[in-house]
Amino acid sequence: MTELNNIALKILEKGKGILAADESTGTMTKRLEGVNVISTPENRLLFRETLFSSSCMTKCIGGVILYDETIKQKNSKKIMIPELISKMGSYPGIKVDTGAKVLSGSPDEKITEGLDGLRERLKEYYQLGAKFTKWRGVYNISKNFPSKLSIHANANALARYSALVQECNMVPIVEPEVLMDGDHSADECYQKTSEVIKKCFEELILHKVDLKGIILKPNMILAGNKSNNKISGDEVAKLTLKCLKNSVPSEVPGIAFLSGGQSEKEATENLNLINKYNNTNFIMSYSYGRALQQSALKFWSKNIQNIEGTQKVFNHRAKMNTLAAQGKWSKDLEI
């Protein structure tokens, strides 16, 4: 399992983070149509290839999470996408869950599916060059949620997934996301996130998952997006660190935060503050989707052939987040 620990550490070394480019075809279609670009396999690939061949990949991006469609595609020079990512000095990864469905017994909550046939799919993805994988569990937050049923069921699925992934010599990203939708306070987010993460590790240990060979992808501790009691970046950082220090076993090599609906600059600023206050042994980095891609996507949509200009916008965002992962970012560096 030392090899898995090495991969996890390599993905997150020197402030490197993870580009989450694993949007399903449906989600990617919404994103493209939102900027008036027709969603075809060619256009989806063109945008992703533009990012994957950017210069920042070498110094800022340690891993790229792909979607099933993308991992099987070739770029304009007929190079397989995982090979292109590897050539840029980054690790290709793959999202392996099949999405969140209604949780039987609690219809207002979700359970992530995709365990059926997973062992066989993992073998195929490994052959295609994947070095790590991702599975996301989602939890609503309100007075009654997440329920014990949701917390237990999703933790169990994350653990079963992780065990199968390690069996296939890949690093599992464990993503329990407590959603920021709602009017809850940051304290409520802290309590519920702590409960969710602790249960995940209980199940991971029960399923004999080697904690040195995983990456945790949690939410930051934030007040809900409809809350009137927003907290400062300093408080976000301190509460997030307190939560993780009390919930995550010390063997875990690294934590890569999801952006969870924060704006690009918020996600960067909060990550920077977390690293300024980080008094743990955990590497604290990023695994962002929209918070890395949004500006680049808007720029690209104006002229999808302007590869160089799009890459410049993406390079800047990746550089800002890598500085934040080292606690070296400041507002003055933003364009």
Cβ(130)–Cβ(94) below 8 Å: yes
Residue 47's CB: how many other CB atoms inside 10 A? 23
Residue 217 annotated to the active site: yes
Please tell me the total number of residues recorded for the chain in this structure.
335
Pick the catalytic residue: 217, 242, 302, 312?
A: 217
Strands (E) across the chain are located at 17-20, 61-66, 91-95, 100-103, 106-112, 132-139, 171-178, 215-216, 254-257, 283-288
DSSP one-letter string for 182-196 = SS--HHHHHHHHHHH
Structure tokens at 202: 């209980």
Cβ(135)–Cβ(157) below 8 Å: yes
Distances (CA, A) of 317 to 5, 41, 158: 27, 25, 30
Cite the active site residues. Answer: 217
